[in-house]
Structure 1
Amino acid sequence: MRIEIKKGMRSIVAAAAATALGFTMAACGSSNDASDNGSASTPTISFMLDWTPNTNHIGLYVAEKLGYYKDAGINVKILPTAQAGAETSVENGVANVGFGGLTNIASYNAQGADLEAVFDLVQKPIARWCSLASRTDIKTPKDFSGKTFVSFGSAEQDANILQMIKTAGGNPEIKRATAGTNTFNTLTSGKGDFGGFYATWEGVESELNGPALNCFVASDWGVPGNPDQIGFHVKKSWLNEGSNKENLKKFIAATKKGYDYALANPDKASDILVEQAKEAKLDEKLVKASMKMITEQNIWSTKDPKKVDGTFNEQDGQEYLDFLQENKVFTDKDGKTLDKAPQMGDISTNEFVD
C-alpha cells in the first residue's frame, strides 16, 4: 500500500510503510540488460522514481530536457513509482535503476535482495520529527514521551524516536497511531501528537501554507551518523551483464550534470521539472522554495556548493547502520534479527561517481 500525499508531498511514515511491504511485484516482460532496450545502437536505462516527481528527482528531468543523456549516448526512461516500491522493482528487473535510501537497501538485502547503492544525492539529514507549532507542551524530544507518534510501525523510526527521547532526558515510551492520507491532517485532527516529515519538501510546504511545525533533527539528539543518504540503487547481478557498468557510469555522469545545473540555476531547473513532469501538477512556488532551501543549506554538497558530491560517507553510514543493528532493526527473511550490522562496503559503492 502506498499513501497518496496531498499536493504530491511524501511523509517519512509513508516511505516506511512502502519499505515494510517486502517483495510483492513480479517482473513482467522486462529486461535486466539496459543494452537490450531502445534502439539497436543506443542503450536505454530505465529509472524508477520512489514517489511522485519532486526536487529530489530534478536532475533527471533537467538532464532529459537539456540533452545530457543524448550527449552521453544513452536513452533514459523515467518510470512512475510502482506500488511495491523502487527497490522491489529493481530487484525484480522491472527497472534498471531506482531511487531510494541507503537504509532501505540494507533492509532489503538482509531479507535476500541483491541491491547496491551507487549514487548518494542527499549529504545531510533531511528527516525531521515534528509536532504542530501550536503544541506548546512539546518543547524538546523529551516531551514526545508518552505521546502518540503518527507511524506505520517502522522499527527504524521507533529506534530514532526513542533514542531522541532518552537523550533529551525523557522516558522512552510512546503510543502509536496509523497515519491517514496526510500526516498534517492526522496531527491537526488530534489523532496524533508528532510525526516524521522531510524538510526539503513537507517542511517547505509547511512554511509556505501551514500548518507551522516545531521540528527536531535526530542527529542533534543522540542518533549517530546520517540516516538520510538517499540516491540511486541497482541490482548487483545487473551490473555484471553486458555493458551495464559502462552505461551506468554514463547515466550517473549525465544525471549528476543535471543536478549541478539545478544547483547553479535553481529557478530555471524548477521550471524544467514543473514542465517535464506535468502529470504531477507540481506547485511552482513549492518547487522553487524547495530548491532555494537545498541550495542555501547545501543539502546535496559538502565541497563545491554548485556541484553535487554524489558519493556516500562510509563512516556516517556505518555509524547509523550499527545504531540500527543495536536496536534490532534488521531482520532476515524469517524475521530473525541479524547477528551483524549490514556493512557499507557490501551495500554501497562510489565506483561510478567521478
Structure 2
Amino acid sequence: MINFRRIMVSIIAALTSIMTIIGVAGCGSSSASEDPTDVTFMLYWTPDTNHIGVYVAQNLGYYKDAGLNVNIVAVSQTGGETAVDTGVADFALSTMTILSQYDAKTHGDLKMVMQVQQKPSSIWCALKSNASIKSPKDFDGKTFATAGSSESDAVVKRMIQNDGGKGVFDKVTAGTNTFQTLTSGRADFGGFYATWEGVQAQLHGPALNCFTEPDYGIPGNADSIGVITSEKMIKNHPQTVKKFVQATQKGYQYAYDHPDDASEILVKEAPDANLELDMVKKSMHTIIDGDYWGDANKIADGTFTIGTVDTTQTQRYFDFLSDTSDTYVDANGNKLKEAPKAADMSTNEFVKQ
C-alpha cells in the first residue's frame, strides 16, 4: 500500500486539480492505509474450543484485514472482567452469569458484545462405576466436589428436588481436577462441561454418568459464553469494537463450517496448552452436533447468526439464581433484592447480522 500511495502522489502531481481531489479522496477513504490498531484479548481460562474463533481469526488474517493487531494473553489472577474494567485488556471471554455477579458487586461498566454459546453445556456427573447414583435424586446425602459457589449449590439442589429428592448434600473443594476428586473417593459427584471434560472422559475416561440442567428443570442458559468489553471502550472506540466483534464472528463461523481445520489452527496457535488434536476435533463436533452455538438449521439458512446475544435465556437463569440463592450480593455482601438485568449488560449493535 505504501508503494501504491507513492505512485498515486506522482500521478496526481501531473494531473489537473479535479483529478487531484479525486485521488486524495480515494486514498483517504481506505482504512488499509492506516496503521493497525493494537488491542488485547484476554482468555477465560486455558485455550480450548470456547476460544477457537479468536485463534482462527488471528491465524486466517481476519483481524489483520480489519486493521487490528490483536494480542491474545493469558487470564490474569483477578479475572478477565477486572482486566477489561480497569483497561488492562480491551476484550475478554466471559459469561453473562459471571458478568452479572461482577456487576452486582462492583457496578462495573462491562457489556457482552458477542455471545458464542447459546445453551448450557454444564453436566453434573458421578462415576459410572458408582451404582448408587442413577439420577440426580441420588445425589442426596452424597458429597459434591464443588468450586465453592452458591450458584452451583442452587443448581444441584434444584435438580435433586425436581427429581424427587430433598436437595441435601455434603461438599468438598474440588481443587483443579474434579476427575481426581471423584476417582480418589473424596467426592461422589461434580460438575463438568459436556463440550470439554465430557469429551475428555469419552476419550480417556473415567466413564461418567451425567445429567443435564434442562432435563431437570434449571431454566435459561447458565453458560452464555461470549466476548465482553467496557462501556468506555464502546463509547471511545466504537469502530474498533465493531471490527473486533465482526472479525471474531468470522472466526467462529469458519470453525463451525470447518471444524477439523479450525481444530488444527487452535492446536498450532496455542502450543503452550499442549492440546490433543483428536480431543479438540471431537469437542468441535460435539459443539456443532449439540447446537451449542445455535440451531444448526437456522445458522445454515441464515435465520440465526453466530454471535447474537440472547438476553431472554440469560435473564431466566439470573431470575432463578436470584430466587434460590445468595449469588447476587453487593460489595458489602448484602443480597440484592432483584436479579441483574441481562439487557443492561449486553448489546447486539456490533454483531453483523
TM range (shorter): 0.7 to 0.9
Whether 1:264 and 2:233 are equivalent positions in the alignment is no
For 2:155, what is the secondary structure of its paired residue? helix
Q: Which amino acid aligns with 2:144?
A: F
Once the two structures are superposed, residues 74-100 of structure 1 have per-residue CA deviations (whole angstroms, 9 ceiling, x without a partner) of 111111111221112111211011101
How far the C-alpha of 1:285 sits from its partner, in A, is 1.1
CA distance in 2, matches of 1:44, 1:219: 41
> Residue 186 of structure 2 aligns to a residue in which SS?
coil
Question: Which structure 2 residues correspond to residues 110-121 of structure 1 after superposition, within 5 A?
Answer: 110-112=104-106, 113-121=108-116
State the distance in 2 between where 1:139 and 1:72 align.
Answer: 51
Distance in 2, matches of 1:180 and 1:71, equals 42
DSSP 3-state at the match of 1:304: helix
Conserved? CA contact 2:252–2:306, under 8 Å = no
Q: Verify the 8 A CA contact 1:298 1:305 in the aligned structure 2.
A: no
Q: Alpha-carbon deviation of 1:40?
A: 7.3
SS at match of 1:353: coil
Aligned equivalent of 1:18: none
Question: Structure 1 CA distance, aligned partners of 2:305 and 2:263?
Answer: 16
Task: Map residues 1-354 of structure 1 onto 2, 5 A cutoff.
Answer: 41-112=35-106, 113-241=108-236, 244-302=237-295, 303-305=298-300, 309-327=306-324, 328-354=326-352
CA RMSD of aligned residues (A): 1.5
Q: Which has the larger radius of gyration?
A: 2
Q: Provide Cα deviations, 1:52-83, integer angstroms capped at 9, x if missing partner.
A: 11111111111111111111111111111112
- Conserved? CA contact 1:119–1:353, under 8 Å: yes
* SS of match in other structure, 1:111: helix
Among the aligned pairs, what percent are the same residue? 48
When the two structures are superposed, what TM-score results if normalisation uses the length of structure 2? 0.86
Contact 2:40–2:71 (CA under 8 A) maintained in structure 1: yes
Say if 1:300 and 1:308, in contact at 8 Å, map to a contact too: no
Q: Report Cα offsets for 1:178-209 as digits up to 9, x if no partner.
A: 11331000000000011110111100000000
1:308 and 1:201 map into 2 onto residues whose CA distance is 23
Contact 2:233 2:241 in 1 (8 A): no
In 2, Cα distance between equivalents of 1:347 and 1:222: 25
1:342 aligned partner, one-letter code: P
Amino acid of the structure 2 residue aligned with 1:284? L
Deviation at 1:238, TM superposition (A): 2.4
**For this pair of structures, how many residues does the alignment match?**
314
**Cα distance in 2 between the residues matched to 1:167 and 1:297:** 24
The more displaced of 195-204 and 85-94 is 85-94
Contact residue 61 and residue 276 of structure 1 kept, 8 A: yes
2:251 match: secondary structure: helix
Q: Is the 8 A contact 2:253 2:306 kept in 1?
A: no
Shift of 1:305: 4.7
Work out whether residues 150 and 194 of structure 1, in 8 Å CA contact, stay in contact via their aligned partners in 2.
yes
Residue 3 of structure 1 is matched in structure 2 by none
Q: TM-score, normalised by structure 1?
A: 0.86
Could you list the per-position Cα deviations for residues 255-283 of structure 1 after superposition, in whole angstroms to 9, with x for gaps in the alignment?
Answer: 11111111111111111111111111111
Given that 1:145 and 1:165 are in contact with CA atoms closer than 8 Å, whether structure 2 keeps it comes out as yes
Larger proportion of helix: 2
Contact persistence 2:93–2:228 (CA under 8 A): yes
2:7 maps to what in 1?
A: none
The answer (yes or no) to whether the contact 1:121–1:308 under 8 Å persists in 2 is: no
Q: Aligned to 1:123, what secondary structure does the other structure show?
A: coil
Structure 1 CA distance, aligned partners of 2:254 and 2:133? 40
Partners of 2:294 and 2:200 in 1: how far apart?
A: 22
Q: Confirm or deny: 8 A CA contact 1:270 1:287 kept in the other structure.
A: yes
- Cα deviation, 1:118-154, whole Å, max 9, x if unaligned, reads 1110011101111111111111110111111101220
Aligned-partner Cα distance in 1 for 2:300–2:80: 29
5+ long unaligned stretches in structure 2:
1-32
**1: CA distance, partners of 2:275 / 2:67:** 30
Render the CA deviation track for 1:233-256: whole Å, top value 9, x for unaligned: 112122212xx2111111111111
The alignment partner of 1:197 has SS state of: strand
CA contact 1:259–1:308 (8 Å) conserved in 2: no
Q: Which runs of 5+ in 1 are unaligned?
A: 1-38
Task: Name the aligned partner's letter for residue 206 of structure 1.
Answer: A
CA distance in 2 between partners of 1:238 and 1:259 (Å): 22
